[in-house]
Chains A and B, each alone.
Chain A
Amino acid sequence: MDKKVIEIFGLTKKYGSFTAVDNLNLTIGKGEIFGLLGPNGAGKSTAILMLMGLTEPNSGTVRVCDIDPSRNPVEVKKKVGYLPEDVGFYDNLSGMENIIYTARLNSIPIGEAEQRAIKLLGRVGLSNELKKKAGKYSRGMRQRLGLADVLIKNPEIIILDEPTMGIDPTGVKEFLELIVRLSREEGITVLFSSHHLHQVQKVCDRVGIFVNGKLLAEGDIHSLAKQLFKTSAYTIEVGVSPEYFGKGSTKNKSIKANQLKDKLVSLKGVVTVNVKNNLFLVECSTDISSELARTIVNSGADLNYLNKKEYGLDDIYYRYFEGGNAYE
């Protein structure tokens, strides 16, 4: 983690008046799995293209393994494997021939390339499809072949642009597990772009949220939640005995519920209390679950449910898009 393999400072890319990537700053450490999360058209792919030297930035600097990709793209490409979005293969060649070709472009002698290809294709679960023409591969198989293609040059970094698009859920799960395993076993740094938050949440050490060309926040999921929900870092769901809510809204019941609600609001650290689905949702700045429980029990109600809720990427993601400009 101490060694930085990708460093980006003030990176900007404009297409005419449209700014695709706006002053991006980002560093990624060795062996990390970094998730670049953002909606479609946020500029994720453009940022990645600049990392690979496939397009030139308007301003800002990029260092990949201490090399400038716009000056010296070939050196960068020796160390970085890039799986483009919707990768294509030569349909008239078999899967194996396709990645052997890649290997030979990396100056790996044929014999070694063949051995490596067989090993890697086994690893991504394509052992039975070695000789099959790449044109007959399914979407998921193509994506796995793409991963093998990226790995055959023994890269230090792999960049995956929307790698799970179009694969079925079980396929996605296997694919992501494979990536994590590879990264952990061989110490490969992974930059992974996606608009699927669950996938990112599952595999990434750190996440950057990328909207309209700007990196709005970065960090692990916990610290992201803290950055975002400064005032109310915790939400505690509390369920009390059904007489407080019950069916039909008799006056008595709602008065009781309101009294309890007022009591809860008056507690120290509580920001708001909402009632939803027969549960009190208590948003608070510190963890006061025990105090909360005591208060409820003391007030004579039966406490039957208490859940401390931590923010997932889901909440973080939606919060950003809801909040829109407020967080920029």
Chain B
Amino acid sequence: MPTAIESADAAAWKEPTPPSSRLRWLFLCVSVLLLALLLLSGALTVRFLGEMRTQELAATRALADRTRALSGLWLSIQSYDQAVQQFVAQTAADRDAEARRRLDQLTLEIASDFERYPRIRDSEEDALLNGMRHVFVQQRTMYITVLAARPAERRRQADNLAAEHLVPVQKQILDWSGKLQAWNGERLQHADRDLVSQFANLQGNLSRVLAVGFGSGLLLVLASMAFIVRLDRQTRARYVELARSQHALQQLSARLVDAQETERRAISRELHDEVGQSLGALLVDIGRLSTMLSDGPPEIRAEVKAQLDNLKSVAERTFQSVRNMALLLRPSMLDDLGLAAALEWQGREVSRRSQIEVSVDSESIPEDLPDEHKIYIYRLVQEALNNAVRHSGARNARVVAELKGESHNCQSIVVRVTDDGHGFDPARTRGMGILGMEERVKRLGGNLHVDSEPGKGTTVTAELPIPAAVPA
């Protein structure tokens, strides 16, 4: 029956729909978006900073290249000038050819120096460079006319040349070169200014992103906190409700157990006192009638005696079954002999009825326990032994009931029922019987523990505190 009721209950029980999950999804999406935003802006910033660094490097390298090219050019022009001066100053005709070759070579070098100047340049720089080249070309044209003269004439012209042409031209070249240098410096400054403004731009962007991220994060946090607080309140309310209903359920089941016990006791007493005693009296009377019969006439004696014997056996059988019913409902041993004797009796009774031999050790428990404790311990052992008989296939069972604790204030009774049957897995199998036992023990403030393993037998242990008001 219990299983049928359980399955019916299970069918009637519906999974309650959990509170809306849409809000949760919303929170998740917003969080993910926020994280993505932060990640993206971080990545962009890193990339941008990298670009800025490359730009800066390019600008400084460009400046360095130009400066180097310019100084090389300057040096070449200087050497050319010197070579021209020497050429003009010398008179020996035999070395003329060699000096000319050297001049040509220097000219080539200067041309290549011009070529080596970085090709990437804007129109202004181009103009400056071309100006410089132009001055050099002018200078060279002038030199060529000088160089074409004979050595004697050249010497005559030499002083004149140095004073009138060389110095201004050199100054002019220096000017151009200085201009170019200044322009380069300006360009670097320009690039720096560019970078600074770009950086400021980036800073602004980053701050905006951070502000947006922080703001929405704050909103998200506030919203989730509100959500959590709401959930927490709901959970608390539900927990309280659950605890209350559990308590009510326990109360109810305890009352049921009590009511059952009272009812059983009443029926048992009724059976024992009324039906049983009437039958007992009947038996005594029948016995007396049979003895009195010996005085009667022999012809009716046999017939009446047979009738009486028949009556007697019927009455005896009824008497037995009434007695057994009464015992099942309420073990009169508990009232007549006390708990220890009742447990021993139960052990023998189970041994008689079943294949299990039960040994009971309960001598040490006090007899002045509250009635409630006695009946609970009795029922607990009854349930455990019944389980052992029905399910375990055990050959032996042992019931131990003993007093635990030294002082009178904190004593408890430990009841242990062990069998050597095939056991079960208590985590998976939890029958109505065990639940009922647990409920009973809990009601008295104790605890129940089922220890079993497939193939290892079963031990049911219960510990019940004894109320301090009852001296042990």
Chains A and B bind each other: no
